[in-house]
Structures are given as C-alpha cells and as structure tokens.
C-alpha cells in the first residue's frame, strides 16, 4: 500500500488516541453500525483531504466499515497528528501526511490521494477540489463534501464561475455542524491552543476577537467565561450589534490594536491585522489565528518591521519591533486550535463527521438528481444527527399534543 507518513513506530500511540476519541463519538458509532450492515459505500473510493487527527481517523474507519476504500491526506501542513497517521497506515488505510510538511509535499500528497481516482472527495478548505479542477480535466467524481466555511465560500465561487464539474455538499451548512463545531469546537480549542502555547492567564486580559461569525461567537463566549474583557472587530453592523448586546466592546481594528492583550482572528479574510496595527500594539501582545488559512495575520509586514525574531516557546515566536516592543505570534499564524492543540474535542467532531459520512452516502444515492452545485444536506439527516447526539447527552424531546398541532396548522384563533 502506497503511503507517506513521518514514523510508522508511532502507530501504537496513535491507535490509543483513535480509540479514546472514538469512545466519545456516539453518533458516528451509530452511523458506522448501520454502514456495516447496509454496505451503502461498497466498492466506492473516497479520497479525503482533512486534518489528520484522531477524530478524522474515526471517520475513515466508519467509511471503510460501509464498504469504501479510503485514502487520506492533510488539509493543513501543521495539523497532522503523526501518531494517528501511523496507526491508520498500520490498519491498512493509505495516509499521505507529515506534520510540518512543506508546500510541495502538501500538494504532492493531495495528488497522491487523487491518483486513487475517487468516486467521492472530502475537503476541509477546498484544496483537493481546487487541485482536481485545475490539474485533472478528465477526473469527475460523483461528488464532494466540504467541511468548513472557507471551503464553502471557495466552492460557491467555483460554482458562480461555472467551473464546478460535480455536486458538492456543504457539510458546514448543516445546523449540527456550524452551530456546534464552529461555536463550541472553535471556542474551546482555539483558547486551548493559545493556552498551551503561552500558559497565559486570560482573566483580566483584553481579548480581541476579529470576526464574529459562528467561530467568533464561540471564541468570545469562552474568553469571557474565563474572565477576559472581550472586544469584537466586525464589518457587519448586525453582528457588531449582537456582540455589543452580549456585553462585548464593538470596536474597529485600529482601536482594538491599541487595547488588546490577545488577538484571535476568525474572519476567513486576508490581512485583517497588518502593519498599521502592529505599529500601535502593546508590548507583549499575543496574536493567534483560528481561521482556516494562514492569511489573516500579515506576517510579511511584521517581518519587515521587526528587528529580531526568536522561538521563545513551542509554537510561539517573539518578534521585536524597532522601539523594543515585542509581539508574539502563535503557530506562525496557522490554525491555532490544530497547530498548538489537538483540534476540536471528539464530541463536536462526532456531529460534524457524522454529517460527512451521511453526505457521502447521500451523494452516492442521489447521483442522477444532482447538478454541479453546492447543496445542503437534507434537513431530516441534520435532525437525525441532533437527535442521536441529544440522546447521548441524556436529553429528551417534548412532543406536540394533537391540540397544539391543530392550533399551529390553523389561522382561525386570534385575540
Ligand atoms: N477541525 C477542527 N478540529 C478538528 C479535529 N479534531 N479533527 C479534524 N478536523 C478538525
């Protein structure tokens, strides 16, 4: 079996981490059990470009249980858990991923999984589909799935440009993905990464959250919960207002740059913190990015200004400015939750990856009815994921009485 990983000797440690994560993924276990029985993915090749983590490993195992042949590469050069990659290879799953691989290796790994001629591709950021569309004019999978907001934005741009050649399921758009993974997952794991890299006390600090989408909402809530004063930078008035009514300060980036102790970017956009902001930041300001790509912090501008740079801790670089102020950057501005920590906890990836597994099955079952567009997973599947997850949390649901049902269906009763 062809593969490319850092060290096969790490397989034992990786297998334990995969088992631990799997024990916290009850929804995916339910999907896997059904897959084992129904074999709805039998004979299908699935190429996944996802963060190579213990949670992703459980998704790969569930897809294989459904009869698929899977191959996996990384969706970020710094997020690969080498022990997990080794464990999957030992278990017969081809993995092409090495933590801290350079850009050429990263893309050669994407090409390696595309060489398996997949029926379904899975993306987290749309790099796999981008390479496929650019370089493989004769390769047309049945469909693809996309995990994250940034990838969905890219795929919608491809559809608008008329270059998308197959249907895509925007897994991110499922309620059981973005309302939980983006909020609770990013909220917890981004702070986890910053704390592992710095061992910082958040209480009393001013934490600036740049971007108040679902991820920013989660990061702000968790930072406030740990005693930080939260300031939010937004371009959208409704989101900024919503942040203000949560009790946060809604400020522009210039003001934020002057007051912040910790900056966390979660916008999906380019250079949201840049030279003019670095010029006025406090000594010791800490910058981290929790958006998908490493474009949110303009590090070229930081490098231009700085007189020195040293690695002061694992995953933490200190840059010295001409006036002596120090600015600290976590994980080179890459996705902090996966570079400096282990990514989202298994409990949220459980729901995200159950959506991924169901999306692959749905694409295969509905091939004839789908166009070259970006789709949402049908709502009943989203609700099924929520229902199983709720049951495992010990929750239950109220039912409408017949009287309530007919009240909701009629317009006759008023004041
Ligand atoms: N994205 C965020 N956290 C993740 C995780 N633990 N595994 C895979 N992808 C992720």
How confident is the prediction along the chain (415 residues), in pLDDT tens digits per residue? 799 999 999 999 999 999 999 999 999 999 999 999 999 999 999 999 999 999 999 999 999 999 999 999 999 999 999 999 999 999 999 999 999 999 999 999 999 999 999 999 999 999 999 999 999 999 999 999 999 999 999 999 999 999 999 999 999 999 999 999 999 999 999 999 999 999 999 999 999 999 999 999 999 999 999 999 999 999 999 999 999 999 999 999 999 999 999 999 999 999 999 999 999 999 999 999 999 999 999 999 999 999 999 999 999 999 999 999 999 999 999 999 999 999 999 999 999 999 999 999 999 999 999 999 999 999 999 999 999 999 999 999 999 999 999 999 999 999 8
> How confident is the model at residue 23, as a pLDDT?
98
What spacing in Å lies between the alpha carbon of 72 and ligand 1's midpoint? 14
Reading the block at residue 306, the tokens are 């700085």
> How confident is the model at residue 115, as a pLDDT?
98
Give the position, in ligand 1's atom list, of the atom nearest the Cα of 52: 8
Q: In testing the pocket of ligand 1, which one of 51, 171, 214 has its CB within 8 Å of the most ligand atoms?
A: 51
DSSP sequence for 164-187: --S-EEEGGGSHHHIIIIIIIIHH
307 burial level (CB within 10 Å; 0-12, 13-18, 19+):
exposed
Q: What is the pairing mode between strands 168-170 and 229-233?
A: unpaired
For the Cβ of 349 lying below 6 angstroms from any atom of ligand 1, the answer is yes
For the Cβ of 187 lying below 6 angstroms from any atom of ligand 1, the answer is no
Q: In testing the pocket of ligand 1, which one of 48, 344, 345 has its CB within 8 Å of the most ligand atoms?
A: 344
> How confident is the model at residue 1, as a pLDDT?
76
* CB of 96 closer than 8 Å to CB of 109: yes
Q: What is the pairing mode between strands 206-210 and 168-170?
A: unpaired
Measure the CA–CA gap between 139 and 122, rounded to whole angstroms.
Answer: 15
Which domains does the chain carry?
8-177+344-392 (3.40.50.1480), 184-339 (3.40.50.720)
Alpha carbon distances (Å) from 269 to 29, 32, 43, 154, 293: 35, 36, 39, 12, 9
Measure the CA–CA gap between 338 and 194, rounded to whole angstroms.
Answer: 11
DSSP state of 409: H
Measure the CA–CA gap between 348 and 389, rounded to whole angstroms.
Answer: 9
- 48: closest CA among 81, 71, 31, 25? 71
Residue nearest to atom 9 of ligand 1 (CA): 51
What spacing in Å lies between the alpha carbon of 51 and ligand 1's midpoint? 6
Counting DSSP H helices and E strands in the chain, the numbers are: 18, 15
For the Cβ of 147 lying below 6 angstroms from any atom of ligand 1, the answer is no
Measure the CA–CA gap between 9 and 3, rounded to whole angstroms.
Answer: 14
Bridge partners of residue 234, in order along the sequence: none
Measure the CA–CA gap between 127 and 50, rounded to whole angstroms.
Answer: 10
Neighbouring C-alpha atoms within 13 Å toward the C-beta of 80: 28
What spacing in Å lies between the alpha carbon of 364 and ligand 1's midpoint? 24
Sign for the pseudo-dihedral over CA of 4, 7, 8, 11: negative
List of residues 6+ apart from 411 with CB closer than 8 A: none
3-state helix, strand, coil split of the chain in percent (to 5) is 50, 15, 35
- b/e for 147-170, b at 16 or more Cβ within 10 A? bbbbbbbbbbebbeeeebbbbbbb
What spacing in Å lies between the alpha carbon of 147 and ligand 1's midpoint? 10
Q: In testing the pocket of ligand 1, which one of 189, 219, 357 has its CB within 8 Å of the most ligand atoms?
A: 189
Helices 54-65 and 346-365 cross at an angle (nearest 10°) of: 30
Could you tell me the strand order of the sheet in which 229-233 lies? Answer: 249-250, 229-233, 206-210, 262-265, 285-289, 326-330, 316-320, 308-313
DSSP sequence for 15-76: HHHHHHHHTT-HHHHHHHHHHHHH-TTTT-EEEEE---SHHHHHHHHHHHHTT-EEEEE-SS
Measure the CA–CA gap between 115 and 215, rounded to whole angstroms.
Answer: 34
CA angle 42, 44, 48 (to 5 degrees): 125
Measure the CA–CA gap between 22 and 2, rounded to whole angstroms.
Answer: 26
> How confident is the model at residue 412, as a pLDDT?
92
For the Cβ of 51 lying below 6 angstroms from any atom of ligand 1, the answer is yes
* CB of 356 closer than 8 Å to CB of 147: yes
> How confident is the model at residue 103, as a pLDDT?
97
- 95: closest CA among 44, 54, 125, 40? 54
């Amino acid at each position: 079996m062809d593969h490319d990983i850092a060290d096969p000797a790490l397989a034992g440690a990786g297998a334990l981490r995969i088992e631990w994560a799997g024990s916290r993924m009850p929804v995916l276990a339910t999907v896997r059990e059904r897959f084992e029985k129904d074999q709805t993915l039998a004979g299908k090749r699935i190429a996944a470009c996802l963060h190579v983590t213990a949670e992703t490993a459980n998704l790969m195992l569930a897809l294989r249980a459904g009869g698929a042949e899977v191959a996996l590469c990384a969706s970020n050069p710094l997020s690969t858990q080498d022990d997990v990659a080794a464990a999957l290879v030992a278990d017969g799953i081809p993995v092409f991923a090495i933590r801290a691989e350079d850009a050429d290796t990263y893309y050669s790994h994407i090409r390696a999984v595309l060489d398996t001629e997949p029926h379904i591709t899975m993306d987290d950021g749309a790099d796999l589909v981008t390479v496929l569309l650019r370089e493989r004019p004769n390769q047309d999978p049945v469909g693809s799935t996309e995990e994250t907001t940034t990838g969905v934005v890219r795929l919608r741009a491809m559809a608008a440009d008329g270059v998308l050649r197959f249907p895509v399921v925007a897994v991110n758009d499922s309620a059981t993905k973005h309302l939980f993974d983006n909020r609770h997952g990013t909220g917890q794991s981004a702070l986890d990464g910053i704390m592992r890299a710095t061992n910082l006390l958040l209480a009393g600090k001013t934490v600036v959250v740049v971007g108040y989408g679902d991820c920013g909402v989660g990061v702000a809530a968790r930072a406030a919960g740990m005693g930080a004063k939260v300031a939010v930078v937004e371009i959208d008035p409704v989101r900024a207002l919503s942040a203000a009514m949560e009790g946060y300060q809604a400020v522009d980036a210039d003001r934020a740059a002057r007051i912040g102790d910790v900056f966390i970017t979660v916008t999906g956009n380019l250079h949201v913190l840049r030279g003019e902001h670095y010029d006025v930041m406090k000594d010791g300001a800490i910058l981290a990015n929790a958006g998908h790509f490493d474009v949110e912090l303009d590090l070229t501008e930081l490098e231009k200004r700085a007189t020195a740079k040293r690695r002061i801790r694992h995953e933490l670089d200190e840059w010295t400015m001409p006036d002596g102020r120090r600015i600290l950057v976590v994980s080179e501005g890459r996705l902090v939750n996966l570079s400096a920590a282990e990514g989202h906890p298994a409990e949220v990836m459980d729901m995200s990856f159950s959506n991924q597994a169901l999306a692959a099955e749905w694409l295969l079952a509905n091939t004839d009815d789908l166009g070259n567009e970006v789709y949402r997973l049908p709502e009943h599947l989203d609700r099924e994921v929520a229902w199983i997850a709720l049951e495992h949390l010990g929750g239950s649901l109220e039912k409408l009485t017949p009287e309530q049902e007919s009240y909701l269906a009629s317009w006759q009763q008023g004041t």
